[in-house]
Chain A
Amino acid sequence: MATVREHVQNSLKKGKWIRSTCKMCLHSCGTIVHVTDDGIINKVEGDPTNPSNNGKLCPKGNSAIMRHYDPNRIKQPLKRTNPEKGPNVDPKWEPISWDEAYDIVARELKKALDDDPRKILPSLEHFQKMNVWNWPLAFGNQNSFQSGGTMCGGAYHPMNGYIHAAFAVANDALHCNYWINDGTGDGFSSHLHAAAQANWVADARIKRGMRCVTIEPRLSTSAAKSEEWIPIRPATDRHFALGLCHVMVTEGLCDYRFLRKDTNAPYLVGPDGTFVRNADGKIYVWDTESNSARLWDDPTVGVDRLALEGTFQVEGKECKPAFQKFRDIVDKCTPEEMEKVTTVPAATTRRIAREFARAATIGATIDIDGRTLPLRPAAYNYYRGAQGHKHGFQTNHAFKMVNFMVGNIDTPGGLCGVTLDDQWIDKNRIIPGENGMILPQPHQLGPLPPFQYPPSTYHLLNYFPVGLHPPHLNLVVFENPEKYGVDFKPDVMVIGHSNPLWAMQGPREKWFEFMRSMRFIVVCDIIPTETTMWADVILPSHDALESWNMTMIEPPHTEGMCLRQPVVEPLYDTRSEEDIMSELSERLGILDAYNEVINIVSGFHHKPELLLQPGRKYTDREIAERKGLLWNDKPLDWYIEHGHAVTHRRSDKFYRPWEGMRLHFYIEDMVTIPRDLKAKMEEAGVPFRNEWCWDDYQPLPTAVLDPVHSEPPEYDLYGIFFKEIQINFGESLSNPWIKDIVYRDPVHIALILNPKTLEKQGLKSGDIVRVDSPTGRIYGRVGASEGMHPDALGVSNSLSRIKVRHATVAHAGGHFNDLLPYDLGNTDAVTGQPETVCKVKLTKLDDWPEPLKQGLLVYDIVDEYQRPGKVGSH
């Protein structure tokens, strides 16, 4: 009798495929997951029916199974029995029941709530579950100790809210012909739906011949794949952008029609920096034909008559069009002057500006879905590396200006706003503001606390009316609470889906002191991390193959909702994050308030039949179901079968959804907000008001240098850090499949220096060094690469872990973030964005310091991988 051979390849074994959504980063690529008839998950692939990623998955998505079957997963609630806390101190966990865990946690949280709700410090940054992230609003708490945010896009997001009324931006891969990336790997390694965008961009490059130019200090993947890599000194990208603007402005290469018609560039700005208004508050423009001031909406003045340049007298005040104010700044930003700051040759800046402007085909149009739209197939994209500086708001504004020059904002081929959770597309997004301008939407992650003194938030968010969240300021206040008038001290931490001790900037040792000052710490997570080490109680949550969710995070070219559904029953005694938060809320007497937070955050008020009702707890499945119904009225069964309701973005929502309104070329808020804030601080007698960096607020980007450039000259290199697709936007270094590829990759296994710099420093590849910044210190092994700016020291995030009780996670010589400043002077007063570049100096060592010789070092793994093995065991 012939035997039917059992399949050996995993995807063919007897079983079924279930549609779901990836959770290995914060985005939402579609997946199909294979589970065998024996209940073992043995393959994850991209969902070919999901038009976001078209069946593609990045290496992180491909590694999801190893998170699920990680033997280090937390299998039940744990209680700490060792009162001593430290980075490698054994907590001496005692397994406890959920009942006991909830009893303890609720008791400790209740003590804080009854005493002062501000004494709770949450870190719940969860993009895929924003209803969990916003749980603290249920008791009016707006503290934050989150792990991402400002490292990522602290100034980026508010600026996107000002210009596009959106959360993120992307170059339009469907039409772009000249794609610039500055400090970002969009389309190659990172950011919005990495695998999806890489697919879109590869097709654009190969099928349409799209040209790519990457500006950044190191030869990243984006730079390696681009037609041109422009190396730049770290923390000077704003100056490069201003140099490009100089060329376009002085050589007349701009889309003047766009500037006149679609922006506030022609609006007249008076001596105090605000627009010149008549008694009714209407803004003036200058009509070049009648040579007189007119109101912006005067129907007799054609748009082409509006002055963009010049100095005029209106109502006794000297004033200039906003464009002239910008011109006044960039006239001085000659490529030669900017070269001194950036090291980018002036000729390169001139050439790129001209190429960019030419590729933008100013004046061209394209018909899409019955609309005739401007076609501007040249776009300047940028993200974490370029935007993460002290002068974050100005920096992001400068990058926007490069795009404003060619009129490509939200146009086919240009720089387009990307919404966060797609209920934003249709609701509450494009709203007319005053005087024909669009209403800015900088607060897309939730409401900000109002001004208050003493502050109601430990990280001083009361003084950042533009946003976003400066979590590093928790340390600043901790070190000097009297100075900031903080009259409470958080002593309970609620941490979920975050690893702040891995992500925060400033020295770990100081953060450890901060942690030790806490009375009680509860952590909700899946695997042991740097942060779970400090918990008093750990509440283990389901992983993404065991739970429900409905979400869509920043898809560049698609919209819709993606379902996450359980593929198997939970492996261990875990709970969903929703179950945990609602159970705690019920025990704390805040369940109704929490349900209302979920209602608001999820948008259920738009369809009142979906509203969560008071008095009962809702599961992750029930909330997912409602989000699906909210999007397209389809029940959960429909989503279970289809996996998603993703379609291509509607062109009227993506391209110029603000048609007829004017964009904020000039951001007047940057004059009125600080004026208002200053007055409030004065009235309240805020003691640190004279140290506040008022000059950070600028309505137009300037060429001020970030303070990192003024550190003492003994610190002669710029430290930068980076990820790449294997390790970005999530934790993956605990994953053996990721470890297997990362520690074999030359960019992830050494502190990288340009070979000439290595030589100048008196070092050789393989030398052990101590790296000192004015703030902190780390250790590492240096390596050489021609793909590194001579002024820079490049440190991969692969070398950033500290001692964790997870066998696969190898520590390196300390976390790069220890080197970064965390003070107010290096924080953008506008957005809270901290500086993410540091000046460093190197000292050669003969050997590792003693503490690093204990335990597995990353470099041990690297050496093992590089050891030539016997033939055939590569």
Chain B
Amino acid sequence: MARYGMVFDIRRCIGCNACVVACKQENSLPDGVFFTRTLSEDYGVYPNAGRVYIPTLCNHCEDAPCEKVCPSGATYTREDGIVMVNDALCIGCNSCAVACPYDQRTSLGKDLFEKGLFGQGKITDFEKQGYTRFTPGTVSKCDFCSERVDSGLDPACVVTCPTDARIFGDLDDPESKPSKLIKERGGRPPMPEKNTRPKVYYVT
């Protein structure tokens, strides 16, 4: 059984946010909802100024605090390591959102599905066929495109990335792309001091 993880190659990422839009497309996310975000951070002082682009998403932690605090068992980890939300069980308490040190949990308020992407309550046909997957009032997040993965595809963000900065695969397979990248380029998880053991790594 695979243990899925992701590597972000910071050298490659150009901060274009194609991944963010691909994710919104794939998952019919309402306005202002992100299952992945690519941030940018300026550093240095002119003329030695720089900027780094940082892709982020749910880290599918091995010791997921969101799963630990979930009172209803809605948040659970699959055998292949993907941390999922069963929104039929979610009571919308938001404990997971408080517990997540990476701020990767999103509260799906009812108003999001009523206002529509274009606002003014105009819901497009695209949204109509997509919003049915959500249960308003629950808290959701990236699930590594688990459905695509089950069908043998890579997550939507990975497929579209123009610079191949997102690498997805089986961390337990030493020959997988993410495993090799972590080994060759010294991959590090974000904020390891939080002790959640993310399955997402960064290489620079």
Taking Cβ atoms with an 8 Å cutoff, the residues of A that contact B are 7-13, 36, 38, 40-46, 53, 55-59, 61-63, 65-66, 69-72, 188-189, 194-196, 198-199, 201-203, 205-206, 219, 221, 224-225, 229, 231, 725-726, 736-738, 740-741, 745-747, 754-756, 785-790, 807-808, 865, 870-874
Q: How far is the CB of B167 from chain A (nearest CB, A)?
A: 12
**Closest beta carbon of chain B to A387's beta carbon, Å:** 22
Given that A808-B118, A808-B119 are known contacts, is A198 also in contact with B162, CB under 8 Å in the complex? yes
B149-202 interface (Cβ within 8 A of A): 151, 153, 156, 159-165
- Interface check B69, CB cutoff 8 A: no
Q: Mark B19-49, 1 if CB is under 8 A from A, else 0.
A: 0111011111001101001001010111101
A-B contact pairs, 17 of them (CB 8 A): A7-B147, A11-B153, A40-B129, A56-B162, A58-B16, A66-B124, A66-B126, A71-B118, A221-B16, A231-B47, A726-B17, A737-B24, A741-B21, A871-B98, A872-B97, A872-B98, A872-B105
CA distance A302 to B19 in the complex (A): 57
- Check A219 against B26 for contact (C-beta < 8 Å): no
Contact indicator A43/B26 (Cβ below 8 Å)? yes
A225-B17 Cα distance, complex, nearest whole Å:
15
Complex Cα distance, B151 from A770, in Å, reads 55
- Across the interface, A737 reaches (CB within 8 A) one of B21, B40, B139, B163, namely B21
From A12, A65, A754, A756, give the contact of B25 (CB < 8 A).
A65
A-B pairs with CB below 8 Å: how many? 207
Which among A8, A756, A788 has the greatest number of chain B C-beta atoms within 10 A? A8
B118 touches A736 (CB 8 A): yes
**Chain B residues near A71 (CB-CB < 8 A):** 118, 122, 124
Is A725 within 8 A of B11, CB to CB?
Answer: no
Q: Which of these, A43, A785, A870, A872, contacts B42 with CB under 8 Å?
A: A785
Q: Nearest-CB distance from A100 to chain B (Å)?
A: 28
The contact of B49 among A12, A787, A874, by CB within 8 Å, is: A787
Q: How far is the CA of A872 from the CA of B97 in the complex (A)?
A: 5
Count of chain B residues with a beta carbon within 8 Å of a chain A beta carbon: 67
Would you call B130 an interface residue if the criterion is a C-beta within 8 Å of the partner chain's C-beta atoms? yes
- Say whether B77 faces chain A, with CB atoms less than 8 Å apart: no
A738 in contact with B124 (CB, 8 Å): no
Kindly list chain A residues whose C-beta atoms are within 8 Å of the C-beta of B165. 202
**Inter-chain contacts of B49 with A (CB < 8 A):** 219, 229, 785-787
- Contact assessment for A44 and B25 in the assembled complex, using a CB-CB cutoff below 8 Å: yes
Contact B31 A59, beta carbon cutoff 8 Å? no
A65-B126, A786-B44 known; A8+B12 contact, CB < 8 A: no
**Hey, which bits of chain B sit against chain A, CB under 8 A?**
9, 11-12, 14-18, 20-22, 24-28, 31-32, 34, 37, 40, 42, 44-47, 49-53, 94, 96-98, 100, 103, 105-107, 109, 117-120, 122, 124-126, 128-130, 133, 139, 145, 147-148, 151, 153, 156, 159-165
Flag if B117 contacts A224 (CB, 8 Å): no
Q: Of residues A69, A189, A195, which shows the largest number of chain B Cβ atoms within 10 Å of its Cβ? A: A69
Nearest CB to that of B94 among chain A residues? A872
Check if B163 sits within 8 Å of A202, measured CB to CB: yes
Cα distance A69–B12 when bound, in Å? 33
Q: Please give, as numbers and ranges, the residues of chain A lying within 8 Å of B52 by CB-CB distance.
A: 224
Closest chain B residue, CB of each to CB of A48: B159
Known: A57-B160, A736-B31, A790-B46. A219 touches B9 (CB 8 A): no
- The answer to whether A874 and B126 have CB atoms under 8 Å apart is no
A219 to B48 CA separation, bound complex (whole angstroms): 10
Among A9, A45, A755, the residue within 8 A (CB) of B145 is: A9
Q: Which residue of A lies closest to B22 (CB)?
A: A62
Task: Point out the residues of chain B lying under 8 angstroms from A229, CB to CB.
Answer: 47, 49-50
Question: How many whole Å from A546's CB to the nearest CB in chain B?
Answer: 14
Q: Evaluate contact between A726 and B106: CB separation under 8 angstroms.
A: no
Cα distance A746–B17 when bound, in Å? 13
Inter-chain pairs besides A40-B128, A46-B159, A872-B107, 8 sampled, C-beta below 8 Å? A10-B129, A43-B25, A53-B162, A62-B160, A746-B42, A789-B46, A873-B107, A874-B103
> Are A45 and B147 also in contact (CB < 8 A) when A206-B12, A786-B46, A787-B51 are?
no
Query: Least Cβ distance of A78 to chain B in Å?
Result: 19
What chain B residues lie within 8 Å of A9 (beta carbons)? 26-27, 145, 147-148, 156
A219 in complex: contacting residue of B50, B117, B128, CB < 8 Å: B50
**Interface pair A872/B164, CB less than 8 Å apart:** no
Query: Is the CB–CB distance between A62 and B130 below 8 Å?
Result: no
A807 and B126: CB pair below 8 A? no
A482 vs B27: C-alpha distance when bound (angstroms): 60
Q: What residues of chain A lie closer than 8 Å to B11, measured between beta carbons? A: 205-206
Which chain B residues lie closer than 8 Å to A12 at the CB level? 147-148, 151
**In the complex, which residues of chain B have a beta carbon less than 8 angstroms from the beta carbon of A745?**
17, 40
Once the chains bind, are A740 and B14 in contact (CB under 8 Å)?
no
With A10-B28, A62-B22 in contact, do A807 and B139 touch (Cβ < 8 Å)?
no
**CB-based contact A740/B163 at 8 Å:** no
Nearest Cβ distance between residue A668 and chain B, in whole angstroms?
40
B83 to chain A, nearest CB (A): 15
B34 proximity list for chain A (CB < 8 A): 740, 874
Q: How far is the CA of A196 from the CA of B25 in the complex (A)?
A: 20
* Assembly CA distance A152 to B193 (angstroms): 49
Q: Which residues of B contact A53 (CB under 8 A)?
A: 162
- Residues of B contacting A72 with CB < 8 Å? 118
The 10 closest A-B pairs by CB, nearest first: A872-B97, A202-B163, A786-B49, A69-B124, A8-B133, A62-B21, A224-B51, A198-B162, A195-B162, A872-B107
For residue B86, give the distance in angstroms from its CB to the closest CB of chain A: 13
Q: Which of A40, A221, A740, A741 touches B125 (beta carbons < 8 Å)?
A: A40
Give Cα A11 to B148, complex, Å: 8
Q: Are A754 and B46 in contact, with the CB atoms below 8 A?
A: yes
User: Is the pair B94, A871 in contact by a Cβ cutoff of 8 Å?
Assistant: yes
A9 and B124 alpha carbons, distance in the complex (Å): 17
B162 touches A741 (CB 8 A): no
Chain B residues lying within 8 Å of A57, measured Cβ to Cβ, are: 18, 22, 160, 162
A10 to chain B, nearest CB (A): 5
A218 to chain B, nearest CB (A): 10
Which residues of B lie under 8 Å from residue A42 when comparing CB positions? 25, 28, 126, 129-130
Among residues of B, the one whose C-beta sits closest to the C-beta of A231 is B47
CB–CB A55/B159 < 8 A? yes
A195 to B16, CA, bound (A): 9
Chain A, Cβ-Cβ closest to B141: A872
Contacts of B105 in A (CB 8 A): 872
Residues of B within 8 A of A231 (CB): 46-47
User: Which listed residue, A56, A206, A746, A808, touches B40 by the CB 8 Å rule?
Assistant: A746
